[in-house]
Structure 1
Amino acid sequence: MSLRNYSDKKSVGVIGIGSFGAAIANLLAEKSSVIVYARDQEVVDEINERHTAKGRALTPTIRATTDPQLLCESCDTLFPMISSSGFKEVMGLFAPFLHPYHYLIHGTKGLVLNLPPGKTLDNVTKLRRENLCTMSEVIQNETVVVRVGCLAGPNLAKELAQKQPAATVVASRFNEVIHEGQRLLRGDNFQVYGNSDIIGVELSGVLKNIIAIAAGALSGMGLGENARGLLVSRGMVELIYLGKAMGGSTKSFIGLAGIGDMVTTCNSTLSRNFTVGYRLAQGETLDAIVSDMDEVAEGINTVRLIRLFLESTDLRAPITENLHKVLFQSFKVETALQYLMKYPFNVDIDFL
């Protein structure tokens, strides 16, 4: 049976089939026919023949293709679930086949560089907001799609795959995108909230990864819940200041996509970013950790980009700044912690 004829109704597309992409595809398959896109023909064959993706179980009705045109013609709503490092390239690949009537709801928690010709991350000393794109901005820059949304929240892929209770936020400037995301994803064990502040929701998912790395480092040092509570609360303040400077709303940061996701990833060994921090505190090098991970820990690149963004502002972000030293300047985790404990915070909350 050809994919075009798989259902009388329009199918729903998922672009990328990593752990989160697989979990979202399975959730969507509870209500809709689903087609996933993967570049690797072996992965596509595995999905179509064995109903697994790199060993992860998929609903048997899910089908796969390597053809972007087929996916765009078969589906009006697409869910890009790919790492930030490959996001712009994949959107460029899909761009010729996308139309203004398409809905794109991404689930990527990262940033993409937007630099003038000749400039790279290695030869710039500061980044301004216009040099950093969220994934919704990449979609709008690279395609003709207008109705863009994002998914963010405490959504650990392994727990979603186990059908444990969870919730997410669908954010978009367009109510019809929010309603479509809710219609397609909401189920007995999965609640879907809406938010019109897409930039704030995207930045919540991006910036909390920084704090998750730091939380893993605390755990790797054997520190307790008092230290973690201190980190999460001060990390939340830092996230809000950074997020507001980049165009987000405080209300989004204190919601499910902000504090909800931060609490989850700062307490879970299932989080890739938490794992990076934990292993750093155990004495492993960043290169060794990255080479050993199956999927990207987006927080590593985020720390580097936000550190350069700080150079164009008068903001101070001590957790981010010290974590940058740990990740990229051979700073000891213990030394960074001592510095943070001596940082002259005088007021608890001063952003309300």
Structure 2
Amino acid sequence: MASKQSSPHKVAAVLGAGRFGTAVANLVAPNVERLFLYAHRAEQACAWQASRRVGDVPLAANVVVSNDLEMVLRICSVIFPVVPAAQFRGLMQQIAPAIRPDHLLIHGTKGLHIYEDGDLPFAQSVATMSRVMVQETKVQAVGCLAGPNLSAELAQKHPAVAVVASASRKVLAVGEQLLTNPWFRVYTSVNLNGVEMCNVLKNIFAIGAGIIGGMGYGANTYAFFITMAISEMDCIMAATGTPSNGLLGPAGLGDLIATCGSTTSRNYTIGYRLAKGEQLTDILKDVKGVSEGVQTVQTICAVMQSYGKQAPITEAIYRMLFEELPVQKGLDVMLGG
């Protein structure tokens, strides 16, 4: 187990004080002397630092909530960016002047970025968060944290597992050291692209699982759907040239089962309410936080079309979300009917 005494990194930082960012901060805190949790809004940072809570989640004693990004980047060599995909590139551009080549960046963002300011074919304009980090900053060592890590359960310290992926052995060692706890097991993988893609794709199928739940189907149908979903993930990764050797690990099957089986998941909630007859625009007004799956459905549909490949479940969910395909017909397509 990692410890404060054995870790050469006395301070670390999490950028983003959302539910998952706060959970990551509390995970790392026992293994460092101080953990800085960066909040974008100064008034929130002050309030959370004073109350020692973010929402209903208590903060570890050595977590410092700060709005001073320059200070945080100056004194912390290990940074965990955990913000929604839509904000990720902007954050990287903001921190780029202060990022040194020796910084280690391990992100926890479950989404893709689309570069819309170039002349590349669509499929080549889609970037993982690790690619964004390398393109927008001088950092040389990047990684990703992924797995079946529902924020509410992490806050309660339920036994869990994750994977840290990177091409850098140093990032793997530091990530494993800083995140490991008695109840939180960390594996490592050099398959960064594969882990990131698994991390992204499961959000699509969480919407599908919500549709199945909203239609009133039970465990048999859920298991049928998970079987179909893991097969489609494999097809998508093959079409995009992404190594799929992590598909049955924590970031693939593990995260797929957890997210598709959680009725508290934002993406599951979207699918559930869609099955109950609500419109997507109305659902998104009510769902708190960012639901990465909606954008991911759009992106993966476009990517697969650009490759001339099919992803039946993803396409059916897209049509139900954006083209008013009746839910029962969409479900038939999802399950190969």
Query: Smaller-chain TM-score range?
Result: over 0.9
1:59-78 paired onto structure 2 within 5 Å: 59-78=60-79
Distance between the aligned counterparts of 1:289 and 1:105, measured in 2?
32
Residue 215 of structure 2 corresponds to residue 214 of structure 1 = no
Q: Could you tell me which residue of structure 2 aligns to residue 186 of structure 1? A: 180
Distance between the aligned counterparts of 2:69 and 2:191, measured in 1?
29
Q: Could you tell me which residue of structure 2 aligns to residue 270 of structure 1? A: 264
Instruction: Write the letter of the residue equivalent to 2:79.
Output: L
**Cα distance, 1:250 vs structure 2:** 1.9
Q: Could you tell me which residue of structure 1 aligns to residue 301 of structure 2? A: 307
Q: What whole-Å deviation, never above 9, does each CA across 1:193-250 have from its counterpart, x for those lacking one?
A: 0000100000001011111110110000001212111111111111011122223222
Residue 122 of structure 2 corresponds to residue 127 of structure 1 = yes
**Counterpart contact for 2:313–2:333, Cα < 8 Å:** no
Q: What whole-Å deviation, never above 9, does each CA across 1:174-209 have from its counterpart, x for those lacking one?
A: 111011011101010000000001000000010111
Q: Could you tell me which residue of structure 2 aligns to residue 96 of structure 1? A: 97
**Counterpart contact for 1:10–1:76, Cα < 8 Å:** no
Distance between the aligned counterparts of 1:42 and 1:279, measured in 2?
34
Structure 2: which 5+ runs fail to align? 1-7
Distance between the aligned counterparts of 2:231 and 2:38, measured in 1?
38
CA RMSD of aligned residues (A): 1.6
Q: Could you tell me which residue of structure 1 aligns to residue 30 of structure 2? A: 30
**Counterpart contact for 1:199–1:247, Cα < 8 Å:** no
Distance between the aligned counterparts of 1:165 and 1:196, measured in 2?
24
Distance between the aligned counterparts of 1:217 and 1:234, measured in 2?
15
Helix, strand or coil for the counterpart of 2:178?
helix
Q: Could you tell me which residue of structure 2 aligns to residue 79 of structure 1? A: 80
**Cα distance, 1:314 vs structure 2:** 2.4
Aligned length: 329
Q: What whole-Å deviation, never above 9, does each CA across 1:51-86 have from its counterpart, x for those lacking one?
A: 112343211321122222111111000000100010
Helix, strand or coil for the counterpart of 1:226?
helix
**Cα distance, 1:319 vs structure 2:** 0.2
Distance between the aligned counterparts of 1:109 and 1:9, measured in 2?
26
**Counterpart contact for 1:127–1:311, Cα < 8 Å:** no
Helix, strand or coil for the counterpart of 1:151?
strand
**Counterpart contact for 2:52–2:59, Cα < 8 Å:** yes
Q: What whole-Å deviation, never above 9, does each CA across 1:81-104 have from its counterpart, x for those lacking one?
A: 100010000111000000110000
Runs of 4+ in 1 over 4 A off after TM superposition: none
Instruction: Write the letter of the residue equivalent to 1:108.
Output: T
**Cα distance, 1:9 vs structure 2:** 6.2
Instruction: Write the letter of the residue equivalent to 2:84.
Output: S
TM-score by length of 1: 0.90
Structure 1: which 5+ runs fail to align? 1-7, 344-352
TM-score by length of 2: 0.94
Residues 341/235 of structure 1: CA separation in 2 closer, same or farther (3 Å cut): closer
Residue 298 of structure 2 corresponds to residue 297 of structure 1 = no
Residue 107 of structure 2 corresponds to residue 106 of structure 1 = yes
Distance between the aligned counterparts of 2:204 and 2:210, measured in 1?
10
**Counterpart contact for 2:225–2:335, Cα < 8 Å:** no
**Cα distance, 1:312 vs structure 2:** 1.0
Helix, strand or coil for the counterpart of 1:253?
coil
1:1-352 paired onto structure 2 within 5 Å: 10-32=10-32, 33-117=34-118, 127-128=122-123, 130-343=124-337
Distance between the aligned counterparts of 2:36 and 2:332, measured in 1?
50
Distance between the aligned counterparts of 1:305 and 1:46, measured in 2?
37
Residues 9/319 of structure 1: CA separation in 2 closer, same or farther (3 Å cut): closer
Instruction: Write the letter of the residue equivalent to 1:26.
Output: N
**Cα distance, 1:337 vs structure 2:** 1.4
